[in-house]
Amino acid sequence: DQQVKQNSPSLSVQEGRISILNCDYTNSMFDYFLWYKKYPAEGPTFLISISSIKDKNEDGRFTVFLNKSAKHLSLHIVPSQPGDSAVYFCAASVNGDDKIIFGKGTRLHILP
Amino acid sequence: DTGVSQNPRHKITKRGQNVTFRCDPISEHNRLYWYRQTLGQGPEFLTYFQNEAQLEKSRLLSDRFSAERPKGSFSTLEIQRTEQGDSAMYLCASSLSTKGYGYTFGSGTRLTVV
């Protein structure tokens, strides 16, 4: 049972344009959402998060949007840079639960 | 502090053999997590410790798997009688916080069972 779903295995975006990565979830108990970035041969690294009481959180070039009614969140990267090429994981947790649940990931390719 | 360290980086073993992986967390982190990642999947939760206490185990963690964290410092994950389906990347993470942004992952141990 995939509680966090990333339906696009890969995405290619021109350098300088906007990258939009999407994520859907099924567990209505999730109240904290995160995006992790992973380069080959490295562990995932935390990128940005959002609490369920918010609908937007911004950090530099990265913005996460949360639509609770649709159980959907998205990560926007503007402008996209070559170093953004990586696998991006959407993740979620339930308040008070120490583990986070990851999606399958989306591989982002930034094209020159 | 160099972050979360995992050893070995790669392990090739024959089916039926036992293997043990080690994770050294960030020294002040009291929480330690093990995840497993297979090709095309995201990291899947296996188990976690708060200090030396193992507080939760996933049903993915069969009886052949055991994890320890003696004295609340480093942790080991042992797989007995390995099967080809155990081939995966085993990731360790540590944190001070219950929030996922506090996780620091190691680079993982890649296990190949032949």
Identify the closest residue of chain A to B43 by CA–CA distance. A102
DSSP string for residues in B34-55: EEEE-TTS--EEEEEEETTEEE
**How large is the greatest C-alpha to C-alpha distance in chain A, in angstroms?**
43
B96 band by pLDDT with thresholds 50, 70 and 90: confident
Q: Does B90 have pLDDT greater than 80?
A: yes
Identify the closest residue of chain B to A8 by CA–CA distance. B40
Residues in chain B, total: 114
pLDDT digits (tens, 9 = 90+) for A26-57: 999 999 999 999 999 899 999 999 999 999 99
Q: Is residue A62 less than 8 Å (CB to CB) from chain B?
A: no
How far apart are the CA of A33 and the nearest CA of chain B, in angstroms? 8
3-state SS class at A8: coil
Question: Which two tokens mark A1?
Answer: 């049972």
Q: Is residue A32 less than 8 Å (CB to CB) from chain B?
A: yes
Predicted local distance difference test score (pLDDT) of residue B98? 67
Compare CB distances from A100 to B91, B100, B108 and report the shortest one's residue: B100
CB contact under 8 Å between B42 and A98, yes or no, is no
pLDDT digits (tens, 9 = 90+) for B39-53: 989 999 999 999 999
How far apart are the CA of A29 and the nearest CA of chain B, in angstroms? 15
Spatial CA neighbour of A80 closest among A21, A34, A22: A21
Q: Does A60 have pLDDT greater than 60?
A: yes
Predicted local distance difference test score (pLDDT) of residue B1? 53
Q: Is residue A102 less than 8 Å (CB to CB) from chain B?
A: yes
Spatial CA neighbour of A27 closest among A103, A107, A87: A103
Q: Facing residues of A102 across strands?
A: A91
Sign of CA dihedral A20, A25, A28, A34: negative
A96 band by pLDDT with thresholds 50, 70 and 90: low
Which amino acid is it at B104? Answer: T
Q: Facing residues of A14 across strands?
A: A111
How far is residue A21's CA from residue A107's CA, in Å, rounded to a whole number?
A: 10
Pinpoint the alpha helices (H) of A1-112.
none
B100 band by pLDDT with thresholds 50, 70 and 90: low
CB contact under 8 Å between A100 and B105, yes or no, is no
Tell me which chain A residues have a C-beta less than 8 angstroms from the C-beta of B40.
9, 104
Q: Does B35 have pLDDT greater than 70?
A: yes
Compare CB distances from B100 to A32, A43, A103 and report the shortest one's residue: A32
Q: Is residue A11 less than 8 Å (CB to CB) from chain B?
A: no
Average pLDDT, chain B: 93
The arithmetic mean of pLDDT across residues B83-112, rounded, is 90
- Among A48, A100, A101, the strongest candidate for a mutation testing the B interface, having the largest count of B CBs within 10 A, is A100
